[in-house]
Amino acid sequence: MVLLTLYCIFVKKFFFASILYGLSVHFKIYPIIYALPLLVFLDEEDYQGLRRKGKGKEHDKNSWRYWVGKISRFVTPARIEFALISGSVFFVLNGIMYLLYRQEFIDETYLYHVTRKDPRHNFSLWFYYIYLTFNISRGSLLGLVLFIPQISLVALLGVVFGKDILFACFIQTFAFVAYNKVCTSQYFMWYICLFPLIIHSTTIKFKYKGLLMLFAWISGQAIWLYQAYLLEFLGENTFLRIWMASIAFFVINIWILTEIVKNHNYEKCFELGKIRNVWGNSGDVKDDKQQR
């Protein structure tokens, strides 16, 4: 549904994209992180090709007039329409589920993620802390505090790379999974399915850095899984070693995240209402621009 949403956005099937996005967030809450880059992406000039009529009077960046002007220019019909349609789909579906399951639906679908304390070992950097503080009341509060760096980084990446929407969604998801307080192998599929859409825009060569990054990512998991095997199958107390492996895997992920951002060729997906050659190589993009 996320891929279909992006496809519909690119072919300007705006209504269907809005519906699909509402469905995506309803079925799996994590795509809510794409709301910010999608709103940034739906620019009147770049996405719709509507040229701005002159430049407004320049104000000092510290003045309230400057920020009021920025906000007023951001609130456009397309962004309002997208928010209303996708939000309506989301809330209607949630309303239906609430009528069927009442408070159980709210608890298991949303409140569960806020107050979740999962003591089971997982790839997350925070699992050992949650394990040690599982029966301590302040554990839930500190668990919420851990959410702050995660959502702050994800929001920042969404704003910075919003016009390059494919990369924004990929890098947001990668950061979200790396910093999440619960992380299992299925979470990796969230960004792996987006990876083919951004691989053409990187300057990283598979030989040798790309291969090294892939080897480090797999090795980090292999080391962790070996310690988990000792715990699950042989009954050894390896919780501390699993946590150390989680730290190593987190460092590997942050290194990969940094390298991908540093070596990304940022380019707007739309310019004056025209789509760039999204899936071509850099030479194709340049040729396409020259033809236009």
Q: Where are the domains of the chain?
A: 1-115, 118-292
Q: What is the mean pLDDT of residues 134-161?
A: 80
* 92 has pLDDT over 90: yes
pLDDT band at 88 (very low <50, low <70, confident <90, very high): very high
pLDDT at 130: 82
pLDDT at 110: 83
Question: How far is 275 from 7, CA to CA, in rounded Å?
Answer: 12
Whether the Cβ atoms of residue 176 and residue 188 lie closer than 8 Å to each other: no
Question: How far is 97 from 89, CA to CA, in rounded Å?
Answer: 12
* 139 has pLDDT over 60: no
Whether the Cβ atoms of residue 163 and residue 269 lie closer than 8 Å to each other: yes
pLDDT at 62: 61
Question: Tens digit of pLDDT for each residue in 34-72?
Answer: 999 999 999 888 887 776 655 555 555 566 665 566 677
SS3 157: helix
Question: How far is 47 from 25, CA to CA, in rounded Å?
Answer: 23
Question: How far is 79 from 15, CA to CA, in rounded Å?
Answer: 12
Helices (H) and strands (E) in the chain, counts: 16, 2
> What average pLDDT does the structure give for the chain?
85
Whether the Cβ atoms of residue 168 and residue 153 lie closer than 8 Å to each other: no
Question: How far is 89 from 96, CA to CA, in rounded Å?
Answer: 11
Cα dihedral 190, 9, 39, 181, rounded to 10, equals -10
Q: What is the mean pLDDT of residues 215-224?
A: 96
Q: What is the mean pLDDT of residues 199-204?
A: 90
Question: How far is 83 from 21, CA to CA, in rounded Å?
Answer: 10
Question: How far is 264 from 6, CA to CA, in rounded Å?
Answer: 20
Question: How far is 174 from 187, CA to CA, in rounded Å?
Answer: 9
Question: How far is 21 from 89, CA to CA, in rounded Å?
Answer: 9
Whether the Cβ atoms of residue 262 and residue 269 lie closer than 8 Å to each other: no
pLDDT at 283: 45
